[in-house]
Structure 1
Amino acid sequence: MPLHRRQLLVAAAGLGLPPSSLRAAPPAILLARVAAPDIDPAPYLVSEKLDGVRALWDGRELRFRSGRTIPAPEALVARLPPQPLDGELWLGRGRFDALAAIVRKAVPVAAEWQALRYMVFEAPAAAGDFAQRHAQLQQWVGAARHPQLYAVEQTRVADRAALQRELRRVLAAGGEGLMLHRNDAPLLHGRSDALLKLKPVLDAEAQIVAHVGGRGRLAGQLGALELQTPQGLRFRLGSGLPDALRREPPPLGATVTYAYRALTPAGLPRFASFVAVREDL
């Protein structure tokens, strides 16, 4: 079975290899686009949008979407099926920060990991369209009998009114929104209309390129993060930054998730607020 990250670091050092050798190329995965508010759900299977950390199982190792090995305890990975899986490590609604603190530790704490679930939604090695792959995924998960492994529930929604009712139900329970995956979609990579996210508030990711000093009560601390989007646009993000992060800012180059309501004509986010530093990217 895979070695823990600390063992791999020791082995790499003994071979004269840098720690960065533990990073594989980023895996090819499907990424969601934003759904129109009036989307017709008929061609889709619908599931709850989970606020978790993307995790790719290749049959031997669990990796972040960046390609880095996830330092998961042996108790979790030893009982995963041999087939590749795509999903998210999840601790529960509204608990992303606690989840990130657990999974980013170089040496995993087994007791902390026991509360996590590996929620899988794709079976890259299965044949057929998404509905057929999901059926195969359910069989593999059932056969594994792993107490922390779950197949994300996928349901058909009759019409737009029913979709909005389901969205309201998930939001009332503390969830983020819904995911819509075309049931007839082949296995795809990259950002695609085959996978859509439906949320009342949008989110996106950008890279930290500068720290902006604070003024007044924030003198001597971080006032804002200057971010650059994947399209090369820059903007400052100051709203929602927690006090601990203002005292110890995340490093340049780190990736941040932010929430926003809409885009300006220039493509910049309106009413952007900080959500999290993405340790998994």
Structure 2
Amino acid sequence: MLAAWPVRSATGAPPPALMLAGVYRPGIPVNAYWLSEKYDGLRAYWDGQRLRTRGGDALAVPAWFTAGWPAEPMDGELWAGRGRFEEAMSTVRQQTPNDEAWRRIRFMVFDLPAHPGPFTDRIAAYHGLVSRIDQPWVRAVPQERVASHAALMAQLDRMVKEGGEGLMLHRGDAPYRAVRNDDLLKVKTHEDAEARVVGHVPGLGRHAGRMGALQVETPEGVRFRLGTGFTDAQREQPPALGAWVTYRFRGVSAKGVPRFASFLRVRPDAPR
């Protein structure tokens, strides 16, 4: 489901219409899907003129980074490498782009939103497009087939051991649909999701005088407290009201409340 409240960029522009990922569940026929790495960076959308976040904000990028890019929209991830999420976020969020830092960023292209064909056709199309762009910082995400749930879990185990975040499954016969559905699935060793900060709960005991927990709200409208996973520095300066945060959890209650939820990081972009 999409957010229950309007989501707009800081400049008031509506967010781009992007495909949003569901969560893999055993029993889904994996042989109908293509498999790729899940890149832990910033979702970015090239609209033919500007590189934008999924929240709609235009990113401040060096002119050379997007020079010569086509008018065709591209969906991808701005990525600094495995285990370097914070570096990617720091680089991308700067209002004045740092050339040296941007040299370490890659735009990992994984789809073409305006292409009318199924994903299997779009794979060849985006590989061809990236080849024509011919820039080392623009890369086509490799895709492969997986035969079974057991093979998928083995791939996930290898990916995590190699420092990756997880995997993505994309149904081969699916058109590009800008909604959250099972055509696109995240495969991870834990569940995570995003929520918006709607309140700060004062701390008690050793946390007296600083934030004890965040009151957050999911895109489906479920509110709960997020009280673990924070450093002392984050409790002194907690995420601002309206900020999006990512949290880990283990299933949900009958009322949809995440169980054992723990803060992971602030997300500067809107939820996907």
- Taking structure 2 as the reference length, the TM-score comes to 0.92
Match of 2:137 in 1: 148
The Cα of 1:133 is off from its aligned counterpart by 0.9
Residue type of the partner of 1:106? Q
Partner residue of 1:269? 258
Following superposition, the deviation at residue 247 of structure 1 comes to 1.2
Aligned residues: 262
Letter matched to residue 90 of structure 2: A
Contact 1:224–1:236 (Cα < 8 Å) also in 2: yes
In 1, the alpha carbon distance for the partners of 2:95 and 2:268 equals 12
Q: 1:99 Cα shift? A: 1.5
Does residue 101 (structure 1) correspond to residue 128 (structure 2)? The answer is no
**Displacement of 1:110 after TM fit?**
1.2
Contact 1:79–1:146 (8 Å) recurs in 2: no
Match of 2:144, SS? coil
Question: What is the match of residue 180 of structure 1?
Answer: 169
Q: Following the alignment from structure 1 to structure 2, what is the Cα–Cα distance between the partners of residues 244 and 103?
A: 22
Alignment of 1:84-163 (within 5 A): 84-163=73-152
Deviations 1:2-53 (A, max 9, x none): xxxxxxxxxxxxxxxxxx7844211111101111134331100011111111
Q: Distance in 1 between matches of 2:120 and 2:243?
A: 36
> Match of 1:205?
194
2:153 equivalent in structure 1? 164
- How far apart in 2 are the matches of 1:62 and 1:186? 23
Amino acid at match of 1:272: A
Q: Distance in 2 between matches of 1:171 and 1:229?
A: 27
Question: Residue 217 of structure 2: which of 210, 228, 232 is its match?
Answer: 228
How many Å separate the matches in 2 of 1:24 and 1:52?
22
Superposed displacement of residue 227, structure 1: 0.5
Measure, in 1, the Cα distance between the counterparts of 2:21 and 2:221: 20
1:32 aligns with 2:21: yes
Structure 1 unaligned spans of 5+: 1-19
Alpha-carbon deviation of 1:242?
A: 2.1
| Letter in structure 2 aligned against 1:49 | K
What is aligned with 1:76? 65
The answer to whether residue 161 in structure 2 is matched with residue 189 in structure 1 is: no
Contact 1:80 1:146 in 2 (8 A): no
Distance in 2, matches of 1:159 and 1:60, equals 40
Task: Extract unaligned runs of 5+ from structure 2.
Answer: 1-8
Instruction: Summarize the Cα distance change of 1:21–1:42 in structure 2 as closer, same or farther, 3 Å threshold.
Output: closer
Q: 1:126 to 1:232 in 2, by over 3 A?
A: closer
Q: Partner of 1:46 in structure 2?
A: 35
* Identity over aligned pairs, percent: 50
After superposition, the C-alpha distances for 1:231-252 in whole angstroms (9 at most, x for unaligned) are 2211111111122211111211
| Distance in structure 1 (CA, Å) of the matches to 2:220 and 2:47 | 30
Q: 2 CA distance for matches of 1:109 and 1:27? A: 25
* Residues 146-177 of structure 1, C-alpha deviations (whole Å, 9 max, x = no match): 11001111101122222111111111112122
SS of 1:164's partner is helix
Q: Structure 1 length normalisation: TM-score?
A: 0.89
RCO (CA 8 Å, sep 6+): is it higher in 1 or 2? Answer: 2
What is the root-mean-square deviation in Å for CA atoms of aligned residues? 1.4
8 A contact 2:10–2:57 mirrored in 1: no
Amino acid at match of 1:152: V
